[in-house]
Amino acid sequence: MLYHRVELVIQKSIEHHERMDSYNEGGEGSAQSTMDNPRRNEMSQTARLRLEINDFSCGLAAGLGYGGMHTIMLYGTLLASESDRWGTLYQTSCSFIPSLANAAVIAVFFFFLDIAWMILTFYGMRKLTSSSGFDQSSSGGVIRGTMVIISVLLLHIAASCVTLINELRDDGCKVSLPILGVFAAAMIFLVFSLRYHMT
């Protein structure tokens, strides 16, 4: 929500700057200034800003930061705790690969999931705070935004529960890792299918 407020302030500032430029160049009604000024035929600064600052790009940036920190906390702490020990740690939940390798694969899957969830969260918050976009009515936007936010929460819980399979059976990672991989691929596909609607 704070991001959308900052975005609105930036947009108003750019539009004010463009109005001042057009006033200094001879006013809006001057046909000669329009013909003499090639910048009027180019994309405006506000339009360029909309291409650069949008929900997809900002969600991607935030997701990279959040996903990177999550990966460090999830895998980095385990790596640091095992770095001063001799030998290779194996666990019954995944006896055919070292525990560090199993944790690394899970961390990579959650890294991509965190990026996808952050982008979807930006999309949902846009629907909650704005009535423009897909829905022309504010109620439709609020309902859709609420559904997206709740879906992100439920998908996060579902992905976390997949890792519990490791504790329920021996070599549970043979089941949980493929499911988590398919889950991550499906989320990335969903996000990229929505990217043109994230303005």
Q: Which residue has the tokens 């976009």?
A: 133
Q: Which residue has the tokens 């895998």?
A: 75
**The pLDDT value given to residue 190:** 87
**The pLDDT value given to residue 73:** 86
**The pLDDT value given to residue 185:** 94
- pTM score: 0.69
Query: Is the CB of residue 121 less than 8 Å from the CB of residue 59?
Result: yes
Give the Cα separation of 14 and 130 in Å (integer). Answer: 20
End-to-end CA distance of the chain: 15
Report the 3 state secondary structure along the chain.
Answer: CHHHHHHHHHHHHHHHHHHHHHHHCCCCCCHHHHHHCHHHHCCCHHHHHHHHCCHHHHHHHHHHHHHHHHHHHHHHHHHHHHCCCCCCCCECCECCCCHHHHHHHHHHHHHHHHHHHHHHHHHHHHHHHCCCCCCCCHHHHHHHHHHHHHHHHHHHHHHHHHCCHHHHCCCCHHHHHHHHHHHHHHHHHHHHHHHHHCC
**The pLDDT value given to residue 53:** 62
Task: Show pLDDT as tens, one digit a residue, over the chain (199 residues).
Answer: 566 676 677 667 767 767 776 777 654 444 444 444 444 445 555 555 555 567 777 788 888 998 889 888 888 777 777 667 676 777 888 888 888 888 889 999 999 999 999 989 888 888 877 644 444 444 556 678 888 889 999 999 999 999 888 888 788 889 999 999 999 999 999 888 877 666 5
**The pLDDT value given to residue 32:** 45
Domain boundaries, the chain: 1-52, 54-197
**The pLDDT value given to residue 197:** 67
Q: Which residue has the tokens 């750019």?
A: 14
**The pLDDT value given to residue 177:** 92
